[in-house]
Amino acid sequence: MNKPFGSIVLDISFRYLVPFILMYGIYVLIHGEYSPGGGFQAGALLAIGIILARLIQGEESSFNISGDTAVILAGLGTLIFAGVGVISLIWSGNVLEYGVFPLNVHKESELHPLGILGIEIGVTICVAAVIIAIYDALTRRDDAI
Amino acid sequence: MLELSMLTILLFLLVLTGVTALVVRDILAAIILFSAFSFFAVLLYLVLGAPDVAFTEAVIGVVSTVFFVAALKKLGRRYVS
């Protein structure tokens, strides 16, 4: 990570842009309740950060996610979404009813943003992984797609 | 009045970039024109007061441009035959 790669423009743009884009993706995810943004945009921003790192550094990038791992992560995100939706059935609520979670909060309405955040985390992981998987399939070297 | 004139200019630029991207022979130029079309759509959504849609369109415009350029590199030719 300490050795330079490519020209100085690529070096500086990688070291300044990629952490900013990744942190902005996390901010859009967490703050999506109160401002424009949400799970889809946050996932696309995280995927843009990882794709930018891979465009600059190539296959041996510092934090590269291969296509097979991306497909597994997409399934994991869908599982988180479905799990948060279904787990409220245990405490005899409806699907996606967040008010029945047995957490210690002051008001019951505070549980709603928590449930939305769980859903959005699943959406973020799924969208980012699917975008990386599509990019990996487009730039794969061998002819067998 | 200002908003109406901005809407008119943006819609004109949107149609211009869209039609040019359809008729141009160079595929890379068509991709860049499509990126410009996406950016004008972002500005149009902002003028119309939908920042959430504009944010989504900006992010997806960047991602689709990267996808198109990657597919063009795999395609191996540059011009429409």
Write down the pLDDT at residue A47: 94
Total domains present in chain B: 1
Read off the pLDDT band of B79 (50, 70, 90).
Answer: confident
Longest Cα–Cα distance of chain B, Å, equals 49
- The pLDDT of B4-19, averaged and rounded, is 94
Q: How many CB atoms neighbour CB A37 within 10 A?
A: 24
Please determine, for residue B17, whether its predicted confidence score (pLDDT) is greater than 90.
yes
| CA distance linking residue A53 with residue A59, whole number of Å | 10
Write down the pLDDT at residue A14: 85
Write down the pLDDT at residue A3: 57
Write down the pLDDT at residue B5: 93
Structure tokens at B23: 């008729």
Write down the pLDDT at residue A143: 59
> Which residues does chain A have with pLDDT short of 50?
none
- Would you call B70 and A48 a contact, using CB atoms and an 8 Å cutoff? no
> Is any Cβ of chain A less than 8 angstroms from the Cβ of B77?
no
> Is any Cβ of chain B less than 8 angstroms from the Cβ of A134?
yes
- The pLDDT of B38-60, averaged and rounded, is 93
SS3 string of A67-106?
A: HHHHHHHHHHHHHHHHHHHHHHHCCCCCCCCHHHCCCCCC
**Best interface-test mutation with A: which of B65, B66, B72 has the largest number of A CBs within 10 A?**
B66
Please determine, for residue B58, whether its predicted confidence score (pLDDT) is greater than 90.
yes
Is-contact A137 A66, C-beta < 8 A? Answer: no
Write down the pLDDT at residue A77: 94
Checking ipTM against 0.90, whether it exceeds it is: no
Q: Which residues contact A75 (CB under 8 A, 6 or more apart)?
A: none
* Residue B70 counted as domain residue: yes
CA-angle at A121, arms to A117 and A125, nearest 5°: 170
- Would you call A40 and B56 a contact, using CB atoms and an 8 Å cutoff? yes
Please determine, for residue B20, whether its predicted confidence score (pLDDT) is greater than 60.
yes
Write down the pLDDT at residue A142: 67
Question: Residue A47: closest CA among chain B residues belongs to which residue?
Answer: B63
Residue the block writes with tokens 């909060």: A105
* Residue B80 counted as domain residue: no
| CA distance linking residue A61 with residue A52, whole number of Å | 10
Task: Print the domain residue range for B64.
Answer: 2-75
